[in-house]
Amino acid sequence: MKLLDKILIANRGEIALRIIRSAKQLGIKTVSIYTELEKEADFVKLADEAVSLGNGELDSTYLDITKIIQIAISTGAQAIHPGYGFLSENHTFAKTCEENHLVFIGPSSEVLNLMSSKPAAKQLAVSLGIPVAFSQKIDPQSSLPDEKLFHYPLLIKASFGGGGKGMELVHSYEEFKQKVEKSSRIAQNYFGNGELFIEQYIQNARHVEVQIIGDNFNNIIHLYERECSIQRNHQKIIEEAPAIFLSPELRAMILSAALKIGKAVNYSGAGTVEFLVDESGNYFFMEMNPRIQVEHAVTEEITGIDIVNEQLRIASGFPISYKQEDIKLTGHAIELRIYAENPSQNFTPSTAPLLSVNLPEYSELRIESDINSSQSLGNQFDPLLLKLIATGKDRESAISMLRNGIKNLNIIGPETNVKYLETILTHPGYQQNVISVEFCKKNHKILIDNYINKFNSDQLNYLVAFAIWKIYLKSGYGETNNNPWNYLGYWRSASAKVPLSIDDEVYMVIPDLKEKSRPAFVLNGIRTVFTTGNQSGNWTDIVIDNKTTRISAIFENHNNLKVSCENIHHNILFPGLLTSYLEIQSDLDDSSKFESGEIKSPLHGKILEINVIENQIIKKGDLLMVIEAMKSENRILSPMDAKVKKIAVNVGAQVTDRMPLIFLEDFK
């Protein structure tokens, strides 16, 4: 018996890179597949081979079974690892692998056919005596079930998917009818199957999942549990292990139920059995994910077991490397999912190019990512940028590590949810572990307010100090004649008032650089002394009153700095270089030439629906259109009562950020 020689990875991004890492440790060669937008990504460069899928949407790239199988055969791969999402739970894909004598790194197609269907998995759980909440399969293409059968609230869920895609919470039959079609469309688009089911919604529940591993010799073990209760819009954003709220008795019952389900289907590979726990301590089987999970890293951290390594060994024909009694837990691990999205705009996906990334440099932190500072953000499928994992001796120390580390994570380009996650970490309810799947929804206002009300005088001083250091003191900055502040002359800088624009607000600053070892500035009559600490690449530590803040920045147009300070984006402009300044001003003029009432796209995406017609009278808040970006549907609402004068796009059109969509006019 020997390990596989070569595998194809039917996925992308950080999970593809994660699989490559384990494969290299075992001496297994890897083949990556990618779209043309992703050709500079690390998961492409670090694989032994890489084959382009071309350009296109999911159905012609990562969901094209025929194309992926052909690439596997042509490259001589013996097996295919599906990662998570995409085709990872598609039994047709697994069956096609088997028919082409390719090992599917996961359970058999028969098990996938059963367990990847959430309703079928629930029926199995019932037959095993495991508690299950009410659920019922529905077919959006035929007549809907009788209203009298429903007890609200209910969740609409995709039968063959996960990750919150297509999931909708409904409180009435009318709301149910409105959202069924949308849920089915998203499920079809993301998982290749639009089948849905409804499930009784358990309020204030906690989400617990058990990691199991099985082999082809009827062995199965668990690696204990994770808690995934911090979710936004049914999407996990913070996961941790173990779930310390569980009593020993409840933990034993949940672990036993997970193993019972795995044994019933002779499960092979890594999988997750998911449960909900209500406020009274009752647990309910929810679903099984027959694949690796996004959050598998927290389990690896507390058990010391490489789950992907085990997947590859089991697929090669080896038994599990461990017995149940070998599994010991050490410490507590928490994972943050960092997404390219804008919390202040209802978490709209942010598709701006990735210009600079500075990751925290702490040995205690594990970072899973496929971004690097030299690539643009070329991802049309998923807004996940990276995962940040901290492991401490207990939950409190893991939270502390994340809070320290996240302050030194600076991403320039797309908006991210980093500040939002940081706000959750500091929330008393989270710190005291008083949480549920409704935590983000219940605390939405305070979490968003803390995110939006982000600019303070302390940050202003650091930004001013950074700008002075960048222009006056940093050696090797560009060409001298391109430096607008050089017009003032270094010797005059102590008394000259310099205009500095930060986020379109102009501040008059007096730099005081007489003592080079103690640079200072005067702002609003207050003198501030600062120094610089560590620096590397695009980031620099600025020290004021013994407090250090790390700032990342890149130059645009010679006199404009794009800055990230404590996960907040800023623009710093030095309005002295007339050519660049006029160029920027010209761009602003061009962007304002459109007629009054113009509605612009807030993001790059595809027009999915247009819900109005020309000359229609609309009210403020009416739905104008739906734009799809990164598999999320974003609703464009009217900002006012108006008449639709002109529609500038069609359904199916690709739109860019700030592109005109609709022109409105006063109808009174």
Q: What is the DSSP letter of 648?
A: -
Strands (E), 60-216: 79-81, 103-104, 135-138, 154-158, 168-170, 196-200, 206-214
- The contacts of residue 85 (CB under 8 Å, 6+ apart) are 11, 162, 163, 190, 382
Coil, strand, or helix at residue 347?
A: coil
Count Cβ atoms within 10 A of the Cβ of residue 160 and give its class: 0-12 exposed, 13-18 middle, 19 or more buried.
Answer: buried
CA 5 from chain centre, in angstroms, equals 32
CA distance 6 to 48: 9
Beta partners for 599? 662
Cα separation values, 357 from 412, 414, 423, 552, Å: 6, 11, 21, 8
**Residue 412: which of 505, 537, 588, 590 has the closest Cα?**
537
User: Number of H helices and number of E strands within the chain?
Assistant: 17, 38
Beta carbons of 250 and 283 less than 8 angstroms apart: yes
Position of tokens 């099984």? 288
291 part of the active site: yes
CA 465 from chain centre, in angstroms, equals 32
Strands (E), 348-435: 348-349, 356-358, 365-369, 384-392, 410-412
Beta partners for 170? 154
Position of tokens 């019952």? 253
Position of tokens 């390219």? 340
Q: How far apart are the first and last CA of the chain?
A: 80
Beta carbons of 664 and 628 less than 8 angstroms apart: no
Q: Kindly report the backbone phi and psi dihedral angles of residue 224, in degrees, each rounded to the nearest multiple of 5, phi listed first.
A: 65, -160
Indicate which residue of 12, 291, 337, 550 is catalytic: 291
User: Element (H or E) spanning 93, and its range?
Assistant: helix 91-99
Tokens matching residue 177: 């009818």
**Residue 648: which of 638, 661, 664, 665 has the closest Cα?**
661
Beta carbons of 560 and 584 less than 8 angstroms apart: yes
**Residue 160: which of 133, 127, 190, 124 has the closest Cα?**
190
Q: How many CB atoms lie within 10 A of CB 78?
A: 18
Beta carbons of 338 and 313 less than 8 angstroms apart: no
Strands 79-81 and 6-9: parallel
CA distance 559 to 176: 53
Q: Kindly report the backbone phi and psi dihedral angles of residue 545, in degrees, each rounded to the nearest multiple of 5, phi listed first.
A: 55, 45
Active-site positions? Answer: 291
